[in-house]
């Protein structure tokens, strides 16, 4: 007789269990979520050459393009511009600067694109400018518009281009700013935006926002990962330099081999949360960067602690506070909700072991001013007790499944848990040769994810929050640095991986309480073991066995209250446990292997002693 008892509610499942993690990796922002279509719009991606730009000579025109560092735009961060020289105007649109976008400029029918740019011209140049979205082979114009002739001083121009209904959708297009009339024209911050989510002028791609909403997230860890720390202290995410009009933002070198425009800056992160109706989990720089540099706790760290306090004030302060007033001036009067602040990222890699002291200094200062904020440490600390610890897990699907009970016997008296990065991965070193792997996980990884999420949900009395990482990948070669990612896209289209759909299912169907289930098989006689073949059905019934001997293949066994152990061919164990899964003769996992799982059986001799 099988009895299942599940009528006593256990712990409440954290309402914030599933969230999102974001960092600039794999062109997650520039060439990803951030709507900007022009790559290298402010000519800082390469100091020597206008990369992603090429000269376009139309209708017999002659001329050239080159970087020019001698024409800064006053009171902006725009220091280097593009000089366009026209020696022969020709019979067409003239000499142009063409941008190839982030692996193409995407075009959709009947769609408006907002172009903007700074321009000025020398006294000789009198002609108009033309803006064109054209197929890369030059045979088809998708949209075109005239822009006024620039004057002698820098001025910003905005022009709308519209495609018609017959245009061919795709990303095989480029964007060209052309000048007709002899002389020199200087251009800077050349920008092109498609329609964005909620029509924000400096906003996000609609399809990628929709995909995130499809996971029913509750928070965004911003910005997480190495991007917060930076390759060096100077290259950290320096939030104050990401505020204001985009012409005020210098941009910075990111840790994943390319520059960030910082067009998606702190306020845009927060508006992203607002658009998805989720709350920010703010990660603050904690004085350690990836090259191993760190700031010693004490007076040297004080400016960084103050920076974190300022950042919290930017999110939550009112008009009477310096940084609350700055947020209001930036266009967002209402404060943002904030309950969780994370101090750093993966500080266990700080070989100086300074994190204990750094964390204590941050905690003391933040709790003194904001006692209700919940603080997250990224590594074990002893000087203070954090509210939560951020645990990261990048493992194979089989490892995730086997360790899905990771938190079952965890110390309930310590800090709560934030699983701030996790993923079942099909490759062991996703950061090596990412271009040759990935870009998104398989169905087998999604099964590992599902097992892991069940474990987190069952332990949600201590696992309060979690987020998969990385979330985004631009699938083009040259665009990605990590091989296993949740959501893939090119310039024009996007898709969710199997792991995305596992997340979406768990996000949409999260329970309110855990119902601990006690399953007993009463009156079951101790019976002789099924001799010979025991198939995957054993996994489903979760029966307990003892006196187990494997005669072919291998079995993984979970003794009560213990970790798994494996039994190889010919091996024998007197003590029993639940047969968890089987392997074929080659040792390949039956449940998580890459061939049809029904192919795999293990052969054991065992005594069945009941069920659970
Ligand atoms: O998500 C990819 C990277 O993995 C993150 O930047 C870092 O925190 C982790 O090591």
3-state secondary structure 541-560: HCEEEEEEEEEECEEEEECC
Distance, CA 239 to ligand 1 centroid (Å)?
A: 19
Structure confidence at residue 3 as a pLDDT band (50, 70, 90): confident
Distance, CA 485 to ligand 1 centroid (Å)?
A: 11
Which helix (H) or strand (E) covers residue 313, if one does?
Answer: helix 302-316
What is the model's pLDDT at position 568?
Answer: 62
What is the model's pLDDT at position 283?
Answer: 98
Structure confidence at residue 225 as a pLDDT band (50, 70, 90): very high
Could you give the percent of the chain with pLDDT greater than 70?
Answer: 85
What is the overall mean pLDDT for the chain?
90
Residue range 494-507: average pLDDT?
98
How far from the centroid of its chain's Cα atoms is residue 601's Cα? 39
Closest ligand 1 atom to Cα of 256: 6
Distance, CA 467 to ligand 1 centroid (Å)?
A: 12
Structure confidence at residue 528 as a pLDDT band (50, 70, 90): very low
Structure confidence at residue 593 as a pLDDT band (50, 70, 90): very low
CB neighbour list of residue 493: distance below 8 Å, 6 or more residues apart: 207
Which helix (H) or strand (E) covers residue 210, if one does?
Answer: helix 206-213
Residue range 484-496: average pLDDT?
98
Residue 426: beta bridge partners?
none
ipTM of the complex: 0.97
Contact 169, 492 (CB under 8 A): yes
- Ligand 1 atom 8 nearest Cα: 225
Burial of residue 303 (number of CB atoms within 10 Å: 0-12, 13-18, 19+): exposed
Superfamily of domain 36-195: Galactose-binding domain-like (2.60.120.260)
Pairing of strands 112-121, 279-284: unpaired
- Whole-prediction pTM value? 0.85
Distance, CA 432 to ligand 1 centroid (Å)?
A: 13
Q: Which residue do the tokens 């941008």 mark?
A: 99
Q: What is the per-residue pLDDT across 254-268, written as a single tens digit (0 to 9) for each? A: 999 999 999 999 999
In the predicted structure, residue 324 carries a pLDDT above the cut 50: yes
How far from the centroid of its chain's Cα atoms is residue 169's Cα? 27
Q: What is the per-residue pLDDT across 160-219, written as a single tens digit (0 to 9) for each? A: 999 999 999 999 999 999 999 899 999 999 999 999 999 999 999 999 999 999 999 999
In the predicted structure, residue 74 carries a pLDDT above the cut 60: yes
Contact 525, 10 (CB under 8 A): no
Distance, CA 288 to ligand 1 centroid (Å)?
A: 15
Kindly give the residue spans of alpha helices, DSSP state H, lying in 216-265: 225-229
Residue ranges lining ligand 1, Cβ < 6 Å: 23, 25, 225-226, 345-346, 421, 469-470, 482
Structure confidence at residue 517 as a pLDDT band (50, 70, 90): confident
Closest ligand 1 atom to Cα of 430: 2
Structure confidence at residue 554 as a pLDDT band (50, 70, 90): low
Closest ligand 1 atom to Cα of 392: 9
Largest CA distance in the chain: 101
In the predicted structure, residue 243 carries a pLDDT above the cut 80: yes
- Ligand 1 atom 5 nearest Cα: 225
Q: What is the per-residue pLDDT across 80-124, written as a single tens digit (0 to 9) for each? A: 999 999 999 999 999 999 999 999 999 999 999 999 999 999 999
Residue 407 DSSP symbol = T
What is the model's pLDDT at position 520?
Answer: 80
Burial of residue 170 (number of CB atoms within 10 Å: 0-12, 13-18, 19+): middle
Residue 247: beta bridge partners?
none
Distance, CA 494 to ligand 1 centroid (Å)?
A: 22
What is the domain partition of the chain in residue ranges? 20-32+198-508, 36-195, 524-611
Pick the CATH number of 20-32+198-508 from 2.40.50.100, 3.20.20.80, 3.40.50.2000, 1.10.1040.10: 3.20.20.80
Closest ligand 1 atom to Cα of 227: 6
CA 516 to CA 5: how far, in whole Å?
A: 8
Q: How many CA atoms lie within 13 A of 46 on its CB side?
A: 9
Closest ligand 1 atom to Cα of 345: 8
- Among 421, 423, 438, name the best residue to mutate to test ligand 1's pocket (greatest count of ligand atoms within 8 A of Cβ): 421
Residue range 54-68: average pLDDT?
97
φ/ψ bin of 595: left (φ > 0), alpha (ψ from -120 to 50), beta (otherwise) = beta
- Ligand 1 atom 7 nearest Cα: 225
Residue 374: beta bridge partners?
340
Residue 219: beta bridge partners?
279
CA 155 to CA 471: how far, in whole Å?
A: 38
- Ligand 1 atom 4 nearest Cα: 225
- What tokens appear for 214 in the block? 């499809």
- Ligand 1 atom 2 nearest Cα: 470
Q: CA end-to-end span of the chain, whole Å?
A: 12
Residue range 458-485: average pLDDT?
97
What is the model's pLDDT at position 575?
Answer: 61
- Among 285, 345, 427, name the best residue to mutate to test ligand 1's pocket (greatest count of ligand atoms within 8 A of Cβ): 345
Closest ligand 1 atom to Cα of 394: 4
With H, G, I as helix, E, B as strand and everything else as coil, classify residue 380: coil
- Ligand 1 atom 3 nearest Cα: 225
Residue range 562-580: average pLDDT?
60
């Amino acid at each position: 007789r099988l009895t299942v008892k599940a009528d006593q509610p256990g712990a409440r499942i954290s309402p914030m269990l599933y969230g999102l993690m974001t960092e600039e990796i794999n062109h997650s922002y520039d060439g990803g979520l951030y709507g900007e279509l022009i790559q290298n719009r402010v000519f800082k991606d390469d100091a020597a050459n206008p990369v992603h730009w090429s000269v376009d000579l139309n209708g017999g025109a002659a001329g050239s393009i080159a970087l020019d560092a001698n024409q800064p735009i006053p009171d902006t961060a725009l220091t280097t511009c593009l000089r366009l020289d026209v020696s022969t105007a020709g019979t067409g649109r003239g000499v142009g600067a063409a941008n190839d976008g982030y692996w193409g400029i995407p075009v959709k029918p009947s769609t408006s694109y907002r172009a903007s740019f700074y321009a000025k011209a020398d006294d000789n140049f009198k002609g108009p400018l033309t803006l064109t979205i054209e197929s890369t082979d030059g045979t088809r114009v998708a949209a075109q518009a005239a822009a006024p002739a620039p004057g002698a001083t820098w001025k910003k121009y905005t022009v709308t281009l519209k495609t018609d209904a017959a245009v061919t959708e795709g990303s095989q297009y480029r964007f060209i700013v052309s000048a007709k009339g002899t002389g020199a024209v200087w251009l800077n911050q050349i920008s092109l935006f498609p329609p964005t989510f909620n029509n924000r002028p400096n906003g996000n791609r609609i399809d990628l926002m929709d995909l995130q909403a499809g996971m029913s997230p509750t928070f965004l860890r911003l910005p997480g990962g190495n991007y917060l720390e930076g390759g060096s202290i100077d290259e950290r995410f320096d939030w104050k330099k990401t505020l204001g009009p985009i012409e005020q933002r210098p941009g910075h070198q990111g840790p994943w081999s390319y520059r960030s425009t910082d067009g998606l800056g702190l306020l845009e992160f927060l508006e992203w949360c607002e658009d998805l109706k989720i709350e920010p989990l703010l990660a603050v720089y904690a004085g350690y960067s990836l090259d191993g540099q760190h700031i010693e706790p004490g007076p040297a760290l004080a400016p960084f602690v103050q920076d974190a306090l300022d950042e919290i004030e930017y999110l939550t302060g009112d008009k009477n506070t310096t940084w609350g007033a700055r947020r209001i001036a930036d266009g967002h009067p209402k404060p943002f909700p904030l309950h969780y602040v994370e101090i750093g990222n993966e500080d266990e890699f700080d070989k100086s072991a300074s994190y204990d002291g750094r964390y204590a200094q941050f905690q003391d200062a933040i709790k003194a001013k904001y006692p209700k904020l919940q603080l997250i440490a990224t590594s074990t600390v002893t000087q203070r007790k954090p509210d939560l610890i951020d645990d990261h897990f990048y493992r194979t699907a089989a490892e995730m499944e086997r360790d899905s009970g990771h938190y079952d016997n965890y110390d309930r008296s310590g800090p709560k848990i934030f699983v701030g990065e996790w993923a079942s991965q099909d490759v062991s070193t996703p950061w090596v040769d990412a271009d040759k792997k990935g870009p998104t996980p398989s169905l087998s990884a999604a099964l590992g994810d599902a097992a892991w999420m069940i474990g987190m949900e069952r332990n949600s009395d201590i696992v309060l929050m979690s987020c998969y990482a990385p979330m985004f990948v631009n699938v083009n070669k040259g665009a990605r640095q990590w091989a296993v990612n949740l959501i893939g896209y090119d310039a024009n289209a996007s898709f969710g991986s199997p792991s995305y759909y596992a997340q979406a299912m768990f996000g949409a169907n999260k329970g309110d309480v855990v119902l601990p289930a006690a399953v007993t098989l009463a009156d079951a006689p101790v019976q002789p073991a099924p001799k010979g073949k025991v198939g995957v059905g054993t996994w489903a019934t979760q029966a307990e066995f003892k006196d187990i001997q494997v005669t072919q293949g291998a079995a993984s066994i979970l003794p009560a209250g213990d970790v798994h152990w494996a039994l190889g061919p010919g091996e024998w164990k007197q003590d029993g446990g639940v047969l968890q899964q089987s392997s074929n003769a080659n040792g390949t996992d039956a449940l998580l292997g890459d061939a049809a799982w029904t192919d795999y059986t293990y052969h054991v001799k065992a005594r069945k002693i009941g069920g659970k």
